[in-house]
Amino acid sequence: MKMTEDCKERLLKAAAAIKASHHLVAFTGAGISTESGIPDYRGPQGVWTLKAQGKKPKQTVSWDHVKPNAGHYALVELQNLGLMKFLISQNVDGLHLISGIKPELIAEFHGNHNLMRCLSCDRQFPKKGLWDEAAWGKGYRTSPVLPGQPACPSCNGRIISSVVNFGDPIPKKELERSLFHSGRADVFIAIGSSLTVTPAAEMPLRAKKHGALLIIINQMETGLDHQADIRFYEGAGFVLTSLVSFIKQV
């Protein structure tokens, strides 16, 4: 992608703010994973967009072959540089953890399709080797308990998919951590999210309320564009990798 002078100016401004930050918080939605072949929700080929047209959304890459993209790895670089203090993700694809984000530095707000969670002790466990979806289904909170399905390896409580479905409560721990870090943020960068789904979309507003600079990266309009201090309509992978490059220069 060719970098315009206007884009370069915004990148330099954002890079300087991030490098000078004390508590950078990143927030990601489905848009960060489209470059990995996973459809978003409200884009031209998004899940909800196509369903509204009576069409079936298609994922161009099978789950077995989905891999993190340049945007994911750029966030890992911000983490490893000591700049990104916390990451809040609306995604359930698990690509942030696969890319190298430290588990203690992320709140997967809507869960992770690779993980199961105990309803009693709240511990999480890898789904693979523990849960047989062919035998026991998805294992959602609202799913019936079936004979033979495993219990929590730690406390023997009921385990369910960590994925949060519509109507399910957000796990208390993830919500509390997200609120805490959003309130401390001096720079908050929202990537690939429509910023309309609550309570997740309340995090950038909380950060703004406490004086944070808000950077939004999304090729589509968002519900908080009017609140953005720096706005990028360019692709997430391009913007994030460019930001890391400029941060190393400024």
Tokens at residue 7, please? 């884009």
Cβ–Cβ contacts within 10 Å for residue 28, how many?
26
Does the annotation count 110 as an active-site position? yes
Query: In this structure, which amino acid lies at residue 40?
Result: D
Task: Choose among 34, 103, 106, 28: nearest CA to 68.
Answer: 34
Which residue, among 216, 235, 246, has the nearest Cα to 70 in the 3D structure?
Answer: 235
Q: Amino acid letter at 66?
A: V
What is the DSSP annotation of 130-179?
A: T--HHHH-S--TTSPP-TT--B-TTT--BEEES---TTPPPPHHHHHHHH
Q: How far is CA 50 from CA 37, 41, 221, in A?
A: 16, 9, 18
Q: Find the catalytic residue in 72, 110, 113, 210.
A: 110
Cβ-contact 83, 21 below 8 angstroms: yes
- C-alpha span between 74 and 243 (Å, rounded): 8
- Residue positions annotated with a catalytic role: 110
